[in-house]
Amino acid sequence: MFNRIKEDITCVFDRDPAAQSVFEVITTYPGFHAVLIHRLSHFCWLAGFRWLARFIAHIGRWLTGIEIHPGAVIGRRFFIDHGMGVVIGETAVIGDDCTLYHGVTLGGTSWDKGKRHPTLHNGVVVGAGAKVLGPIDIGENARVGSNSVVLKPVPAGVTVVGIPAHVVDPKSKVATAERDKIAYKMGFSAYGATTDMPDPIAYAINHMLDHIHAMDNQIETLQKALNDAGIKYPETPISKLDGCEIEDGYDEDEL
Ligand SMILES: CC(C)(COP(=O)(O)OP(=O)(O)OC[C@H]1O[C@@H](n2cnc3c(N)ncnc32)[C@H](O)[C@@H]1OP(=O)(O)O)[C@@H](O)C(=O)NCCC(=O)NCCS
C-alpha cells in the first residue's frame, strides 16, 4: 500500500514541472489528497460500508473540490493537476498513469443503473474542462483537448478536440498545406475553411483545387510522354497563376 502511495507522489514530478519537493506535494497538492482519500473510500465501498465510503468521499470533496465516487476504479500513478471541479462517476474506470486537469467530468448520459461512465485506458490525458460522457472507452495514451466534449469511443494514441470531440488527423495538416500552396498561386484565400468548419462553398472550392492540381500533373506527364515519343504537342499559352499576368486581347478596364 505504501508503495502505491509513494508512486502517487513521485508521478507528480513527471507531470508537473512546478512540483519541488515531496513535502510540498504531500501538503499542498489537492489532486494527491483526493486520490489518497479515494483509495480509503474505495476500500470501504468494496468492504460493504457504503455510507461510510460516501461520507469519506464527501469530506474529500469539501477539502479538495474534487468529487470522486467511491465506486470508481482508479489505477496506479493517477494524477489530478489543480483539481477543482473534477467529477468522476460511480462506474468510471481509470487505468494506470492517467492524468486529469481541473474541471474534468467523467460523467454519465443516462439515469439507468449499470455501467454509465467512461473507461480510460492506461496513459490517457484529459485536458482542463473536458467532459467525457457515457460508457465509452478512451484508448491507451489518447489525449483529450481542454474543453472538449467526448461522446464517442476514442481510439488508442490519438488526440481529440472540440465539441463534439473529433480526432485530430495529422494527415489533414499535409493536405491543407498542399491546398494552401495552390490557393495562394491562384490568389484564393481559404482562411476559415478547415475540416472543423465545413463551409460548403469553401469545401467545394478545396476539392476543385485538389482536382485542378491532379489534372495539372496529368497534363504535364502527358506532354512529357508525347515530347519523348517525338510527337510535337501544340502548346496553348495559359496565363501564369503566380504572376496574375493579363492575357493579350483583354481590355484592362473590363477586368
Ligand atoms: C490536445 C492537447 C493534448 C495537445 O495534443 P497534440 O496531439 O500535441 O495536439 P497539437 O497541440 O498538435 O494540436 C493539434 C490540433 O488541435 C488543435 N487543438 C489543440 N487543443 C485544442 C483544444 N483544446 N480545442 C480545440 N482545438 C485544439 C490545435 O490547434 C491543432 O490544430 P491545427 O492542426 O489546426 O493546428 C493539448 O492541446 C491539451 O489540450 N492539453 C491539455 C492541457 C491542459 O489542460 N492544461 C491545463 C494546465 S493548467
Report how far ligand 1's centroid is from the alpha carbon of 145 (Å). Answer: 5
State the CATH number of the domain containing residue 35.
2.160.10.10
Q: Please check whether residues 36 and 116 belong to one and the same domain.
A: yes
CA distance linking residue 194 with residue 198, whole number of Å: 6
Q: Please check whether residues 244 and 119 belong to one and the same domain.
A: no
pLDDT tens readout for residues 192-228: 445 555 667 777 888 888 888 888 888 888 888 888 8
Domain boundary among 127, 143, 167: 167
Q: Please check whether residues 31 and 89 belong to one and the same domain.
A: yes
Q: Please check whether residues 153 and 204 belong to one and the same domain.
A: no
Task: Report CA Rg, the chain.
Answer: 28
* Full residue range of the structural domain in which residue 189 is found: 172-254
Report how far ligand 1's centroid is from the alpha carbon of 54 (Å). Answer: 35
Place of cell 504531500: 26
- The count of domains in the chain is 2
- C-alpha grid cell, residue 77: 500513478
Q: Please check whether residues 35 and 154 belong to one and the same domain.
A: yes
Atom of ligand 1 nearest to the CA of 126: 41
pLDDT tens readout for residues 37-89: 999 999 999 999 999 999 999 999 999 999 999 999 999 999 999 999 999 99
Q: Please check whether residues 177 and 163 belong to one and the same domain.
A: no
Atom of ligand 1 nearest to the CA of 172: 33
CA distance linking residue 143 with residue 225, whole number of Å: 49
